Amino acid sequence: MGVPPRRRRLGSGTAVIRLAVPVLLCGSWAAADAESKSPVSIQLWREHFAGEGAYLADLQGSYLRASGRKVELYEGEWRESERKIEDWTQRLERYAPDLMVVQDAQLPLVLGSAASLEGRFPPSFLQALWPGALAQGRVQGVQVALPWRAHPLALYYNTDLFMAAGASPPATPEDLLTVAGKLSDPPNVYGLGLPGGTGGGAADCFMALFRGQGGLLFDDRGRLSLNSDAGLGALQLFSELTRSRSTQPEVLTWTSPELARLFLQGRLAMLIEGPWLLREASLTPPPFKPGVAPVPRAKGGAEHLTADCVFIFDAARDIDGCVDFLQYALGQERQRALSALGVPSVRRDVGAALPAGEGWEVFTRALREGRGPSASSWDEIASLLERLIFLTVSGRATPEAAIDAIDIDLLDEPEHPGPDRP
């Protein structure tokens, strides 16, 4: 099974590995022109999707042919990223690449070393990107990064179990609670998989339910608004699902990848996950047909979205060259090729390039309507959410008491519905 990108709290790992892909030269003119331009180097992290290596090799070769500039791709595992950020922003700046991909939550760590992107890209190029994904690269009103890979969420469901029970995919939070209880038959099948392990997707799952109830993280005064109808509603869902035995046992010990394996075994009726699981199921079909539906939401609710972002080091050898490469890599042609591999594009105009089959359009909708947490304070927010989930699911406190028991006096930029949100 492929491994989904982990959203936060990444440990250290082995040294960065040079991606061994061939560079294709188209005649002596390309070789000569490449010699006259500074190469562009970029640090990437493995996403583990089928065709990833071939896609990156083609990106490298086609950019050389199109621009006459070499691009040096370096590849590593996500667990290495925080250590490399520390190395390249605090101790070993002269060894840093020109560009680096990071999680949106890691952007505050690189602000002192990232070049501002304000005014560097044509407005038409930026307008082609999904607003929610683009917003994840903006910190304190300044665009410091662009979206590299977006991670929308959807509700996966076991169509065989639903058909046998005469059930339909839940459309609202109330439906979710009802259907999960109806389809739960422990220990054989559990209605809904809920992650609860630290750093294992619990915060993102909460945010999917929170956004689905119309939640905005920060109010007009810039205050964290978890103590709201949406915040209480999401916590109550966690509480009621676990108390009714509609989830897997020992919720607090499970991570998202573990739940994905349980779903593919046919032991979960529903699971909230990203598009990587649909790719996995298409390559290694499970013993049932997976369905994909939007995350249940109330009237006025929206989608939760996170993104991996790419930024330019301010010490890059050729910032203009980096800007040119990003316009190429995030351009329509390259993003169409990526979408054909089952990776939803960060561009508005290539949604139709996703693989044929049911489910993919759900992720396009999530990109169109989604909004992520503030990159400048997500790490603090995620820790608060994990604490709230722990107190609630463990039975130590009611949702109301859990919110009262933690310090949620956190300030950030006010959050308003984006232009593509309902």
135 forms beta bridges with: none
Token pair listed for 293: 């539906």
Angle between helices 229-243 and 202-212 (to 10 degrees): 120
Q: How confident is the model at residue 342, as a pLDDT? A: 86
Cis peptide bond upstream of 97, omega within 30:
no
216: its two tokens: 């905005």
Orientation of helix 378-393 relative to helix 229-243, angle to 10°: 40
Residue pair 238/392 in contact (Cβ under 8 Å)? The answer is yes
**Cβ neighbours around 31 below 10 Å, total:** 14
Q: For residue 223, give the nearest of 413, 399, 26, 419 by alpha carbon.
A: 413
DSSP-based three-state secondary structure for 377: coil
**Residue 86 zone, left/alpha/beta (φ > 0; ψ -120 to 50; rest):** alpha
pLDDT given for residue 352 in this prediction: 64
**In sequence order, what are the beta bridge partners of 273?**
154
Burial class (CB in 10 A: 0-12, 13-18, 19+), 279: buried
What is the structure's pLDDT at 378?
83
How do the domains of the chain map onto residue ranges?
Answer: 17-151+306-364, 154-304+375-405
Cα 152 from Cα 278, distance rounded (Å): 12
Between the alpha carbon of residue 176 and those of residues 247, 293, 404, the distances in Å are: 12, 12, 26
Beta strands 370-371; 303-312: pairing state? parallel
pLDDT for the residue 420: 46
Residue 136: closest CA among 315, 375, 358, 403: 375
DSSP one-letter code for 128? T
Please give the CATH number for the structural domain made up of 154-304+375-405: 3.40.190.10
The string of DSSP letters for 247-310 reads B-SSGGG--HHHHHHHHHTT-EEEEEE-THHHHHHHHS--SS-EEEEPPP--TT--EEEEEEEE
- Beta-strand pair 303-312/146-152: antiparallel
Q: Which CATH class is domain 17-151+306-364?
A: alpha beta
> How far apart, in whole angstroms, are the C-alpha atoms of residue 302 and residue 53?
34
Q: Which residues pair with 190 in a beta bridge?
A: 268
SS3 198: coil
Identity at 205, one-letter amino acid code = C
Using CA atoms, how far apart are residues 205 and 25, in angstroms rounded to an integer? 46
User: Which pair of structure tokens corresponds to residue 364?
Assistant: 């396009």
DSSP state of 315: T
Q: For residue 35, what pLDDT is reported?
A: 54
pLDDT at 417: 55
Q: One fold for both 17-151+306-364 and 154-304+375-405? A: yes
Per-residue pLDDT tens, the chain, 422 aa: give them: 444 544 444 333 333 323 333 333 333 334 445 456 889 999 999 998 889 999 999 999 999 999 999 999 999 999 999 999 999 998 777 789 999 999 988 998 898 899 999 999 999 999 999 998 999 998 888 999 999 999 999 999 999 999 999 999 999 999 999 999 999 999 999 999 999 876 668 999 999 999 999 998 888 888 888 889 999 999 999 999 999 999 999 999 999 999 999 999 999 999 999 999 998 898 899 999 999 999 999 988 889 988 999 999 999 999 999 999 999 999 999 999 999 888 888 999 886 667 766 788 898 888 888 888 777 788 888 889 999 999 999 999 999 999 988 877 777 777 765 544 44
